[in-house]
A and B are shown apart, each in its own frame.
Chain A
């Protein structure tokens, strides 16, 4: 009996852990993080944080985030710098679509055994008066077959002159190609 109890206790604990994981798997990573709107965003001009500094950086939730794909990303800030890591996404590319380009850096994990690239990271400063727009791209069905490079997540950052704090807006990108003979809508 005692042995049985000794076996069932860890199993029950494991079950609870698995259940908890299952229940939280669909929950956005930033659900319980402080929103950017609640932060005192610093008005500084500092150099980009080092990798060691990023490990200690605080997480936060964007001002507004919509969509499933972007819920799998992690949002961190340090001084006036923002880092977005999208680990759940097979990142085909990261591009800047608009705004100032200074201080912007990207990283994509090399391909694994499945030949698909891994996670992607985006780092940029968010300073007064700036507007920036970025896109994370992934692979999906499209003009070039199942491995078409398609937009996945759009990121827009804006700090209007005179505003108390910046805005970080993250949303899933639409992927609805222009219809052609070979690719209906």
Chain B
């Protein structure tokens, strides 16, 4: 299938020495596309797949207004061509062509691939529409590999330097995201976060060798020693280790930010999008957010890059076994109290909300994209704790809005690509859908010049329009202190989903007076408050905020905007700064617009039409809707599986280390998209849906009378919502 350049950019996509996209071929493609739409038999069917291989889907028309796209998937050609090892095997949202004349960008919010001729800005970008939202891509010679989230696919595209042609596609579990090629370029490992699957794909036959279940939300993948790979998880500090030869999969502990952790504690992590390894595969670097990491006023923890030694699968930075030595001057003793100097946390880490990570091997440094502060931090890759060894910082965001403090360019960096000489860094910023070029400094250079991008290229305007676009930026930005206390909405609701973490809602006194705040650890709460806080498990937002209201744990916020305004006050340390209410109201409305129109819901779980699983789901639906259980009385399907009001519930003992909630009237939550977002209940005390039903008894509806078979059926149904 050929994916020809489209839109207004196509006609003026001229680079010296090159030919423009072949629109004549696109013209015939359009005609053929209409024939397909009219139901005429397609001549584009692929050969039937081998019995033990996943089917290679037939080419389909890409249903966009101005897209030109159709021709057979040339699998036979792909099989016979020699493989070229990728220069960068780890997937990213952007990648450089081997000759560095073109930059490829996977623009998820546009469901498109963009090509940007280099030098950046020398010509407009060209758009190629895709069959779904792309997540990551890898370039290997003239081949491009792209994961598509929904439907789950791995696309192989070929480029002749100008046009893109689809060569093959492999069906993957829904929500295909992470992508890394084996060093020889002949296989790929992909992750599907919502399905919690890893998939091993043979690129020579375009067949799926296997898909295996792993822990929740697998994301970044990196190969280290031969066929050994490590996988990060969005909502956990542990990595998954995969040995392709044996097929063995195991969990590898890598506690987050051990040097910002109290002795005896072990921290979990969120935002584990990115992994990278050093040149020898001896170290794996995991960029994430350490939940509950300590420091002065560190209510939300701290960003972290944790290092795993692959020779032993042990962390490079050991945990503190006990209290460590310290010496304070007499004046310092007078000025500070408690453990203020025990952790290097009175400053933030050099980036907020890590989103992407690459290793600059020529300088032994790491480049980390901070989604929340529009920054790239360059860190010492040799250090046990790279976040405490900052080399340089580069500000990607520019043109900040005077009122909302969001960047006009370079907002929410989400992908990084290094030039071959490692002196130039290309940054894809998702909230502004643009690419920035940053000239990197040498490590020993004074940190005083060259910190801003030298070029920007906007790929396409935000499909949500200006108001939704502002909401998108605000959702990802931690730079406006009126709406963010140092961590953006996306810090706890990555992609509008959830961080799987149980926070603490607690009232205590700071220099701002008494306020109700959220904190990540009981150790963050001033001892004089004499409380541990109420448990608050982060809710998933996507496709669950469409109702008029009310919102809040106890239905205390009449509307979504009211809930956001409350969130601006809650999710910080101390009180909200003085502000113009009208400005904050506008920001809340913009975010609400983005939440309702911009967030992409998780993919639906495929439901078989017949067979034992279909029968089990049908039985579960019957139980759910039955008078005996009463589930549907509160979780009403017609209104998103909620009746949008608080209901009195029997007291649930709080999890260990938390205080009881003073109010046991909880708003009925929507049950949409339950399957991929464990743990459950407002306090995260049920690790799985099975456990939730088992421990529920008659607290929510009545389930104590259900047999184990009936409980399983109910769970099977709930997983389809």
Contacts and interface: CB of A to CB of B under 8 A. Distances in A.
Q: Do A and B bind each other?
A: yes
Nearest to B487: A178
A173 to B, nearest CB: 7
A150 B60 CA distance: 60
B574 A144 contact: no
A91 interface: yes
Given A133-B384, A179-B481, A174 B328 contact: no
Contact of B327 (A95, A158, A177): A95
B667 interface: no
A65 B686 CA distance: 48
Interface string A146-185: 0111110010101010000001010111111111111011
B344 A94 contact: no
A107 B350 CA distance: 29
A101 interface: yes
Contact of B316 (A158, A175, A178): A158
B330 interface: yes
Contacts of A156: 380, 383-385, 388-389
The residue in A67, A108, A133, A147 that gathers the most chain B C-beta atoms within 10 A of its C-beta is: A133
Interface in B542-583: 572-578
A66 B383 contact: no
Interface residues of B, number: 62
A181 B577 contact: yes
The residue in B298, B326, B342, B447 that gathers the most chain A C-beta atoms within 10 A of its C-beta is: B326
A99 B720 CA distance: 48
Given A66-B443, A149-B335, A97 B259 contact: yes
B325 interface: yes
Interface in B497-526: 510-512
A184 B577 contact: yes
Given A174-B347, A181-B575, A154 B327 contact: no
Interface residues of A, number: 56
B347 A150 contact: yes
Given A92-B329, A93-B326, A133 B481 contact: no
Given A144-B335, A171-B390, A176 B258 contact: no
Interface stretch (A1-9, A74-82, A111-119): A111-119
A178 B385 CA distance: 20
A149 B447 CA distance: 24
A131 B299 contact: no
A150 B296 CA distance: 10
A98 to B, nearest CB: 4
A154 B380 CA distance: 12
The residue in A95, A96, A117, A148 that gathers the most chain B C-beta atoms within 10 A of its C-beta is: A95
B382 A98 contact: no
Nearest to B377: A174
A143 interface: yes
A60 interface: no
A137 B347 CA distance: 12
A91 B341 CA distance: 13
Given A64-B443, A98-B384, A149-B336, A177 B297 contact: yes
Contact of A151 (B298, B347, B350): B347
Nearest to A66: B391
A143 B573 CA distance: 12
B281 to A, nearest CB: 15
Contacts of B328: 92-93, 108
Nearest to A150: B346
Contacts of B77: none
B318 interface: yes
Given A137-B341, A169-B389, A178 B348 contact: yes
A167 B574 CA distance: 40
A66 B384 contact: no
A98 B317 contact: yes
Nearest to A98: B259
Contacts of B350: 174
Interface in B702-718: none
Contacts of B343: 97
A101 B325 contact: yes
Given A111-B329, A149-B332, A181-B512, A133 B388 contact: yes
B341 A149 contact: yes
B258 A178 contact: no
B320 interface: yes
B258 A98 contact: yes
A104 interface: yes
B329 A167 contact: no
A106 B389 CA distance: 21
B346 A154 contact: no
A154 B388 contact: yes
B485 interface: yes
A156 B484 CA distance: 32
B332 A93 contact: yes
A54 to B, nearest CB: 18
Contacts of A67: 447
B283 to A, nearest CB: 10
B486 A135 contact: no
The residue in A93, A139, A148 that gathers the most chain B C-beta atoms within 10 A of its C-beta is: A93
A147 B335 contact: yes
A133 B384 CA distance: 8
Contacts of B384: 98-99, 131, 133, 156, 158
B421 interface: no
A160 B315 CA distance: 12
B385 A92 contact: no
Interface in B423-451: 443-444, 447
A72 interface: no
B341 A180 contact: no
Contact of A104 (B325, B390, B391): B325
A160 B388 CA distance: 18
Contacts of A177: 296-297, 346-348
Nearest to A170: B389
Contact of A93 (B259, B296, B327, B380): B327
20 contacts: A106-B325, A117-B332, A137-B341, A143-B297, A147-B331, A149-B332, A156-B385, A158-B382, A169-B382, A171-B389, A174-B349, A174-B390, A176-B348, A178-B299, A178-B573, A179-B484, A179-B486, A180-B485, A181-B575, A184-B577
Interface of A: 63-64, 66-67, 91-99, 101, 104, 106-108, 110-111, 115-117, 131, 133, 135, 137, 139, 142-144, 147-151, 154, 156, 158, 160, 167, 169, 171-182, 184-185
What are the 4 tightest A-B residue pairs by CB atom distance, in nearest-first order? A117-B329, A98-B259, A95-B326, A106-B327
Given A142-B346, A171-B380, 11 more contacts: A66-B389, A66-B443, A92-B335, A94-B326, A97-B324, A101-B325, A117-B332, A171-B391, A173-B388, A179-B485, A181-B576
